[in-house]
């Protein structure tokens, strides 16, 4: 039960950060998402993101920040086994589900539907 509450709160707070970047710093959505992804990668580099996921569950794994986290994770996992070259070979390993799903479903969408305007 507690995880659900924290999922809501942490997820909501990360979104508020995004909203502030867009409304106060006047950044475009693309710039905002890019900043958040990089922040997630850096946070995982500092060892801070995994504890957040343990604590808040989907509140930390659903926002785009977790994408940065997953990229670093994949790279570090492979690097442990294969050394520096593992960084390149492992980057997309963990995020494969997300990227593949987005490409496939996006393509299917364009195949069967028209935009509504």
Partner 1 sequence: MSDAKKKKLTPVQQEYHDFARQREPNRPLLLNSLRAFAVGGFICLVGQFVQDFFLWNFDFTEKTAGNPAVAVMILIAVVLTVSGVFDHIAQWAGAGTAVPVTGFANSIASAALEHRTEGFILGVGGNMFKLAGSVIVFGVVAAFVVALVRTVLSTLGGP
Partner 2 sequence: MLKGHQTWIFENRPVIAAAAAVGGPFEARGPLAADFDLLHGDLWAGQDSYEKAERKMLEEASRRAVDKAGLRKEDVQFFLSGDLGNQIIASSFAARSLGVPFFGLYGACSTAMEGLALGSLLVDSGAARYVLCATSSHNAATEKQYRYPTEYGSQRPPTAQWTVTGAAAAVVAATGDGPRVTAATIGRVVDMGMTDPFNMGGAMAPAAVDTIVAHFRDLNVCGGDYDLVATGDLGRVGHRIAADLLQKQGLAIPSFTDCGLLIYGPDHSMVMAGASGTACSAAVTYGHLLNRMKKGELRKVLIVATGALLSPLSYQQKESIPCIAHAVSIEYGGKE
Q: How far is the CB of 51 from partner 1 (least distance, A)?
A: 14
Dihedral over Cα of 74, 79, 82, 84: its sign:
positive
Interface of this chain with partner 1, residues 46 to 105, rule: CB under 8 A: 57-59, 61-68, 71-72, 74-76, 79, 83-84, 87-88, 91-92, 96-103, 105
- Applying CB under 8 A, does 114 fall inside the site for partner 1? yes
Q: How far is the CB of 71 from partner 1 (least distance, A)?
A: 3
Q: Measured between alpha carbons, how far is 75 from 87 in angstroms, rounded to an integer?
A: 4
Query: Cα-flanking dihedrals φ and ψ of residue 25, to 5°?
Result: -80, -5
Residue 7, sorted as left (phi over 0), alpha (psi -120 to 50) or beta, turns out to be: alpha
Residue 35: helix, strand or coil by DSSP? helix
Give the shortest CB-1-to-partner 1 separation in angstroms: 11
**# binding residues, partner 1 (CB under 8 A):** 78
Please say which residue, 28 or 100, places its beta carbon nearer to partner 2.
Answer: 28
Contact set with partner 2 (CB under 8 A): 22, 26, 29, 114-117
């Amino acid at each position: 039960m507690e995880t659900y509450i924290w999922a809501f709160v942490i997820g909501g707070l990360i979104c508020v950060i995004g909203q502030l970047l867009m409304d106060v710093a006047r950044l475009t959505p693309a710039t905002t998402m890019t900043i958040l992804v990089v922040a997630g990668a850096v946070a995982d580099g500092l060892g801070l993101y995994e504890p957040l996921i343990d604590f808040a569950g989907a509140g930390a794994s659903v926002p785009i920040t977790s994408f940065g986290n997953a990229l670093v994770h994949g790279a570090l996992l492979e690097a442990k086994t294969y050394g520096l070259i593992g960084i390149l070979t492992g980057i997309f390993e963990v995020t494969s589900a997300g990227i593949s799903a987005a490409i496939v479903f996006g393509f299917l969408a364009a195949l069967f539907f028209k935009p509504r305007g």
